[in-house]
Amino acid sequence: MKALVEIFYKDSVFDPQGNTICQSLQRLGFRRVKDVRIGKVVQLELDTDGQSPADAKKDVENMCEKLLANPVIESYTLQLEGK
Amino acid sequence: MKALVEIFYKDSVFDPQGNTICQSLQRLGFRRVKDVRIGKVVQLELDTDGQSPADAKKDVENMCEKLLANPVIESYTLQLEGK
């Protein structure tokens, strides 16, 4: 099974990288760009033999809390794909 | 309109960050993790007044080619959301 986790800074946290890219895009002529936020995406390949999708999801949430995301300043969304 | 661009190293390119995170997760006890790839995700807020979705998509593809992704070693997928 594959899991896809998207991790962004919370909206209240300033995102300097996104800000810089927004300005660069506008300078390149893409004037329709109003705002940019940059995040990380983690694609996990999991061996879920004998594990329910609910348990797999709980596992991935645990990974996010313990290692992948910093819950103080970041929020994440996760999707499970396939079997 | 919002656009979401996911950028990963191509499969043929070694992803050291993903590798390290894979090992760290396994060391933390998540033994079901088989492989990890890390990518970037760029969330763009676009002003698409008077622009067709097809043109907006072409714009975002241009941004990817010119600034967001390195087409030599990275591949990207994009989704447009909302109006």
Mean pLDDT of chain A: 95
Q: Compute the distance between CA of residue A8 and CA of residue B22 in angstroms, rounded to an integer.
A: 20
Radius of gyration, alpha carbons of chain A: 16
Q: Compute the distance between CA of residue A35 and CA of residue B44 in angstroms, rounded to an integer.
A: 6
The pLDDT tens digits of the residues spanning B21-73 come to: 999 999 999 999 999 999 999 999 999 998 999 999 999 999 999 999 999 99
Percentages helix, strand, coil for chain A, rounded to the nearest 5? 35, 35, 30
- Domains along the sequence of chain A with CATH: 2-81 (3.30.1280.10)
A83 band by pLDDT with thresholds 50, 70 and 90: low
Q: Taking residues A37-56, what's their average pLDDT?
A: 94
pLDDT in the model for residue A82: 79
ipTM attached to this prediction: 0.89
The pLDDT tens digits of the residues spanning A18-32 come to: 999 999 999 999 999
**Positive or negative CA dihedral for B58, A24, B66, B81?**
negative
Residue A14 has pLDDT above 70, yes or no: yes
Give the amino acid at A53. Answer: P
Instruction: Show residues of chain A in contact with B83, CB under 8 Å.
Output: none
Would you call B5 an interface residue with chain A, using a CB distance cutoff of 8 Å?
no
Categorise residue A64: left if φ over 0, alpha if ψ from -120 to 50, beta otherwise: alpha
Distance in Å from the first CA to the final CA of chain B: 5
Would you call A69 an interface residue with chain B, using a CB distance cutoff of 8 Å?
no
Longest dimension (CA), chain A: 53
pLDDT in the model for residue B1: 92
| Closest residue by Cα to residue A45 from A77, A74, A5, A7 | A5
Phi, psi of B40 (to 5 degrees): -105, 150
Q: How many CB pairs under 8 A join A and B?
A: 98
| Contact by Cβ (8 Å): B6, B74 | no
pLDDT in the model for residue B83: 64
Radius of gyration, alpha carbons of chain B: 16
Instruction: Show residues of chain A in contact with B67, CB under 8 Å.
Output: 21, 24-25, 28
- How many Å lie between the alpha carbon of B3 and the closest alpha carbon of chain A? 10
